[in-house]
């Protein structure tokens, strides 16, 4: 094994285009992943790729869901690790029949989420990874305000720590709903009914992880199978990864599956070898 340390902008293209690597695995943004795919399949040496890219995970709450349980999942799934997870709950899509109660439940929970020093065991939300990331999250918050979303939970920005923010009545066509926000900001979108909720869940260029809440397991399972994503969790958060489970996405969230037998298939190739003790007799 050889480890080459360096910035992707400096060594990435060279590495992908080099003759030696036969397989390229990349985890990161869709923008960079698209570049990796173009070089790997369009260069002098064609290579196989596995790409684990961005997400815009929806958590769908159907009209028969346990509202408190769903609200807890939305808050935990969004603010865990400051929202800096590709599987983080990026959107809560809620049936209109229970929308107001869900918003109230989320607001009550999110207002209690602690933020600040990550060395303090009581802290739930710590700093963004760097100043640039913090500024990007703040820009998303300001844009959401301009777009008319209703801010129901907010707090200060202290250094690189952005307090949890929750927006209700978010326009599904707004930047906050359509783009991945790698930070502690939760948008809540109202769906007219189950059919509309499914449309909203799939109305994205991404398809990494997702979740659906319903007290009818069959209903939830049928709904889950209609979401175009690599992973869907019934009555749980969108964040889930196990060594024996296939991890990966659809659409612009990537190519291939990681973990278990699936990653073995990705990282190896089939080679057909035939052996004859004596050569066959050919007709000519």
Q: Calculate the average pLDDT of the chain.
A: 95
From the candidates 31, 86, 135, 265, which is the catalytic residue?
Answer: 86
Could you say which of 19, 52, 138, 205 is catalytic?
52
**Residue 138 pLDDT > 90, yes or no?**
yes
> What's the predicted TM-score (pTM) here?
0.92
Predicted pLDDT of residue 2: 84
**Cβ within 8 Å of residue 185, ≥6 positions away:** 78, 83, 137, 140, 141, 144, 162, 164, 165, 166, 167, 176
pLDDT band at 106 (very low <50, low <70, confident <90, very high): very high
- Is 116:123 a contact under the CB 8 Å cutoff? yes
DSSP 8-state secondary structure symbol assigned to residue 50:
E
Q: Which two tokens stand for residue 174?
A: 């707004």
52 is an active site residue? yes
Average pLDDT over residues 7-31: 90
């Amino acid at each position: 094994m050889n480890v080459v340390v360096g910035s992707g902008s400096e060594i990435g293209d060279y590495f992908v285009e080099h003759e030696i690597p036969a397989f390229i695995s990349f985890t990161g943004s869709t923008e960079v992943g698209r570049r990796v795919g173009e070089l790997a399949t369009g260069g002098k040496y064609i290579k196989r790729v596995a790409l684990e890219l961005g997400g815009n995970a929806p958590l769908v709450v159907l009209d028969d869901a346990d509202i408190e349980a769903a609200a807890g999942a939305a808050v935990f799934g969004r603010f865990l690790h400051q929202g800096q997870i590709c599987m983080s709950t990026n959107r809560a899509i809620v049936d209109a029949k229970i929308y107001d109660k869900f918003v109230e439940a989320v607001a009550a929970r999110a207002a209690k989420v602690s933020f600040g020093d990550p060395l303090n065991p009581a802290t739930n939300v710590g700093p963004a990874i760097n100043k640039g990331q913090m500024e990007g999250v703040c820009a998303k918050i300001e844009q959401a305000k301009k777009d008319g979303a209703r801010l129901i939970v907010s707090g200060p920005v202290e250094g690189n720590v952005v307090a949890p923010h929750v927006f209700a009545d978010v326009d599904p066509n707004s930047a906050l709903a359509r783009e991945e926000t790698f930070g502690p900001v939760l948008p809540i979108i109202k769906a007219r009914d189950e059919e509309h909720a499914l449309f909203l869940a799939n109305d994205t260029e991404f398809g990494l992880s997702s979740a659906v809440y319903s007290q009818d397991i069959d209903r939830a399972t049928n709904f889950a199978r209609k979401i175009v994503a690599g992973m869907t969790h019934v009555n749980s958060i969108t964040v889930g990864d196990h060594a024996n489970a296939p991890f990966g996405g659809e659409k612009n969230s990537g190519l291939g599956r990681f973990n278990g037998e699936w990653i073995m298939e990705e990282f190896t190739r089939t080679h057909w070898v035939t052996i004859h003790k004596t050569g066959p007799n050919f007709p000519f």
